[in-house]
Structure 1
Amino acid sequence: MHLRQPAVAGRFYTDVPADLRAEVESFLKQGAALPASALAAGDAAHLAGLMLPHAGHVYSGRVIGATLAHVRLPRTVFLLCPNHTGLGTPLSVWPAGAWQTPLGPVPVDGEMARLLCEADEDFSADVMGHVREHSIEVLLPFLQVCAGDAPLHVVPVCVGTGQAPVLRTAGQRLARVLERCRSRDGRRPLLLVSSDMNHYEDQRTTLRKDDLALDAALKGDADALLATVAREGISMCGAAPLALAFYALHAWAPDAAVRATLVMHETSAAVSHDTGHVVGYAGLRIFSC
């Protein structure tokens, strides 16, 4: 059994289970009270994905809580994250077992992970891309609390390539697996993208660059997103995972419109009060209808 141990517990978030649960519940409660977090029944039926930030909870927890508030998680969540370490393969899929958090283990959907690796040569069963990567780990406690007693399984994918042709083909293959998952479970699985926005520039520059990237993201346009971050020098670490999600959703339902809504957007300055060097955090809900 592949049991992935926490790599950043005690640093990005508390490793004390009771404190962690209370922290996550507080962020979710705060988020649920925000008008922007409301999710109409009609929209909920078409919810296909989310984008959440992955900084330490003290910085990103407000955005995560607002974006996850009112969302009912399906049995299986496909987690697409960037590769900050350079380890592993271009599209590293954690193949089986579970991911341990201070709140307990989160089982991997081994069947869907296997199908994903069989679907495309670019997806490969590989744990090295994940062992030191923080960008899925920091989100799992939120998913655990949101799921409550309902079953929750994940398919972790670490994206280490930003090449549009590779991501487009991979998205087509991912779409087939998403449909297999929907047929098995009787409900659409969720794509969850882990990404921060622009990094380590001043507040004004970061907000401007974030807005450029978000404009493409809100349209569900993978090509425009990748082109924009490259052209404008936007250090959005999860642009490739988000593009992969958009490619997959367009391939999964070619006649559907893919769009996103912005739930919350702020920077690290909201906590640090340092406007000279900030990181942007945005929460998106992605719909296919």
Structure 2
Amino acid sequence: MIRNPVVAGQFYAGSPTLLKKEVSSYLLPKAKKIDAKGCVSPHAGYACSGPVAGAVLSHMKERKTYVILGPNHTGSGSRFGLDMDSVWSTPLGEVEIDNNLAQAILDNAHLIKKDSSCHMSEHSIEVQLPFLQVLNNSFKFVPIVVSQGSLDEYLEIGQGLAKAAQETKTDLSIIASSDMTHYEPYKMAEEKDRIAIEKILNLDIEGLLKEVEEHDISMCGSTPTAIMMAASLKLGAKKASLIKYLTSGDTCSDRTSVVGYAGIVIF
């Protein structure tokens, strides 16, 4: 089954030529590659978040496989749903799912269910693919949509992802697709995002979730980020680094109501 793109021509160019040019304009050819276990990358329209996504993914060492975790904006399907029935299409071509790793994830992270329905209208994973296609023309991936749950659930899933990678000896990185604060004044968004980013940089999963709740930080991908952090730590990550932070007020809108974008690597 082909999973056709749902935001081509909206979030990013629908023409292959224009899309490759668009993506390339955000990439950093001279970026120092980091042997990262995971990262946070934004998922808005490229005019808004492309500079941050391009920067963080440019710094990632290329892998044969990526696990991409995205929030469930639509509310459809399973709480934690993995697609292994589809080939994903973008204007730049098709990307296959790593079914060997996907099955190992299902075997080791029992909260995750095989479910393509939650992916059909969800954009947060799709928008990462064109960057990876330009950076790395030979890779597979595993797409997992995740909904809000508990810290214990996130840790359990993260440990299951790590165990699946170890069992299959898969050379992978985990991408948590997330924007930061939504639709607040520029200074307020920066202040709130600084709090969340500090917890990610300290590799403090529980602290991140606590601050997101206490400070009402509208970070749509706090769940993907928490799971990515848990898996990365289990795979041996020791550090995190902020590659780039911007808001839509820096890129595509005025500053009265902005969305924040952070690019962070964990290694």
Do they fold alike, i.e. is TM over 0.5? yes
- The code of the aligned residue for 1:278 comes to V
- Structure 1: segments with no counterpart, 5+ residues: none
Q: Percent identity?
A: 37
Match for residue 226 of structure 2?
Answer: 243
Q: Counterpart in 2 of 1:223? A: 206
Query: How far apart are 1:273 and its partner, in Å?
Result: 4.1
Encode CA deviations 1:17-60: one digit per residue, 9 max, x unaligned.
110011111111xx346xxx534xxxx34x11111100001111
Alignment of 1:100-139 (within 5 A): 100-139=89-128
Residues 189-212 of structure 1 show CA distances to partners (whole Å, capped at 9, x for unaligned) of 101110000000100110000000
- Counterpart of 2:196, as a letter, is A
Post-superposition CA distance 1:83-111 (Å, at most 9, x none):
11111111100113311000110100011
Structure 1 counterpart of 2:32, from 38, 44, 67: 38
Pairs within 5 Å for 1:177-188:
177-181=164-168, 183=169, 185=170, 188=171
| 2:18 is the alignment partner of 1:22 | no
Distance 1:251 1:272, change over 3 A: closer
Q: Is the 8 A contact 1:72 1:146 kept in 2?
A: no
Q: Deviations over 1:110-152 (max 9, x none)?
A: 111111112232111001111111001111100000003xx20
TM-score relative to the length of structure 1:
0.88
Indicate the SS of the match to 1:191: strand
Paired residue for 2:75?
86
Kept in 2, the 8 Å contact 1:96–1:113? The answer is no
Per-residue deviation, 1:249: 2.3
User: Aligned pair count?
Assistant: 267
Aligned-partner Cα distance in 1 for 2:86–2:202: 36
Amino acid at match of 1:110: N
Contact 2:232 2:266 (8 Å CA) reproduced:
no
Question: Cα RMSD between the aligned structures?
Answer: 1.5
Q: 1:268 and 2:248 equivalent?
A: yes
Structure 1 distance, partners of 2:39, 2:62, is 11
Question: 1:197-237, CA deviations, whole angstroms, 9 ceiling, x for partnerless residues?
Answer: 00001001100000000000001111111111011100001
Give CA deviations for 1:224-274 in whole Å, capped at 9, x if unaligned. Answer: 111110111000011111100111223334xx52x2100110100112341
- Is residue 2:168 matched to residue 1:174? no
TM-score w.r.t. the length of structure 2 is: 0.95
Instruction: Determine the C-alpha separation between the residues in 2 that align with 1:141 and 1:233.
Output: 32
The equivalent residue for 2:146 is: 159
Query: In structure 2, what residue type is equivalent to 1:118?
Result: D
